[in-house]
Amino acid sequence: MKGTVSSTNFNFKDVKSVYHGKVRDVYDIADNYLLMLTTDRISAFDVVLPVGIPYKGQVLNQIASMFLDMTEDILPNWKIATPDPMATFGVKCDPFKVEMVIRGYLTGHAWREYKSGKRTLCGVALPEGMKENEKFPEPIITPTTKAVEGHDEDISREEIIQLGLVSEKDYVQLEDYTRKLYQRGCEIASQRGLILVDTKYEFGKNEGQIFLIDEIHTPDSSRYFYEKGYEECMKNGQQPKQLSKEFVRQWLMDNGFSGQEGQKIPEMTPEVVNGISERYIELYESVTDKKFVKEDITDLEKRIETNVQSFLDVYLYR
């Protein structure tokens, strides 16, 4: 779609490799740094959809950048700078092969598992008699494997340690960081009239120290409800109004697609695409309490290339 970047192949100085993820393109710079370009791609059910979403990359990158700054007192993070609204430059870390998912409410994937009759998720026992979107007595951590391709898989704490994906000492620390980050996210969300329902964090190591990496508290990694009306919706058996990517998943499911083999992605009309873009901007403004400023997207690739290379020339070659 015009005014979006769905793929990149920049030739920056000292690029050692490029990894194209579901949404982000990650450039290894000089073996010591990473440049993460948040594209306008959108994925759901671990499938990248065929049409880019205007301003989505800017929304995700700027929200993540803000929350990295607001949580750096909890643990160090990988970010050094944001040379472009869609780009973050930072320290290269060796990532742990798990994603730390924390859930405060029974919704999304957890609800679908619960509704099917399961009462254990990632080794965590779930209370009987819960309703969809109900708050857990205490937030639960439900890790997943970090798949390079295909679906991430639920995994328990015990399995992670047994398989050697993370040492027991490091895993205890990851759980502690996860709970503290989620608590901070909940506090910030509440100040904006929101509920941080669930989210995920990724961590890595650099010279033996644990860092928070990737994104944080964005609509791609998190789910938010509006506080206003939540209790009323729960009493009436209605869906709380939410800001997250779940509405994209719901639209796909309503149109016959849930990521299963043989299913066809429904047509993404301009109206659908613009509607998704507006929801992302709405989330940005709600979460940050700031007006979203639409950057110039006339020649988006040229803008990114110029901004990033100018930064690298100063930072790396000064």
pLDDT at 53 over 90: yes
How many other CB atoms are found less than 10 A from the CB of residue 306? 13
In terms of pTM, does the model score above 0.85?
Answer: yes
Tens digit of each residue's pLDDT (9 = 90 or more) over 202-241: 999 999 999 999 999 998 899 999 999 999 999 999 999 8
User: Picking from 67-81, 118-132, 174-188, 236-250, which range would have the lowest pLDDT averaged per residue?
Assistant: 236-250
Tens digit of each residue's pLDDT (9 = 90 or more) over 176-207: 999 999 999 999 999 999 999 999 999 999 99
Collapsed DSSP state (helix, strand, coil) of residue 84: strand
Angle at 144 between CA 69 and CA 50, to 5 degrees: 80
Quick check: 17 and 11 in contact, CB under 8 A?
Answer: no
- State how far the Cα of 211 lies from the Cα of 71, in Å rounded to an integer: 11
Q: Spell out the domains of the chain, with CATH numbers in brackets.
A: 15-93+245-315 (3.30.200.20), 95-244 (3.30.470.20)
In terms of residues, how long is the chain?
318
User: Which helix (DSSP H) or strand (DSSP E) does residue 159 occupy?
Assistant: helix 157-162
Please give the structure tokens belonging to residue 230: 């939540």
Band (pLDDT 50/70/90 cuts) for residue 284 is: very high
pLDDT at 148 over 80: no
Q: What are phi and psi of 258, to 5 degrees?
A: -135, 25
Residue 33 CB contacts under 8 Å (≥ 6 apart), including other chains = 80, 89, 90, 91, 92, 316
Collapsed DSSP state (helix, strand, coil) of residue 200: strand
**Cα dihedral 300, 309, 212, 101 in deg (nearest 10):** 20
pLDDT over 90 for what percent of the chain? 87
Quick check: 299 and 305 in contact, CB under 8 A?
Answer: no
Residue 281 CB contacts under 8 Å (≥ 6 apart), including other chains = 55, 59, 292
pLDDT of residue 147: 66
Tens digit of each residue's pLDDT (9 = 90 or more) over 35-51: 999 999 999 888 999 99
Handedness of CA 114, 97, 184, 286 (dihedral sign): negative
- State how far the Cα of 230 lies from the Cα of 245, in Å rounded to an integer: 18
- State how far the Cα of 103 lies from the Cα of 244, in Å rounded to an integer: 14
- State how far the Cα of 238 lies from the Cα of 257, in Å rounded to an integer: 23
Tokens 């047994």 appear where? 162
Pick from 51, 40, 8: nearest CA to 26: 8
pLDDT of residue 1: 61
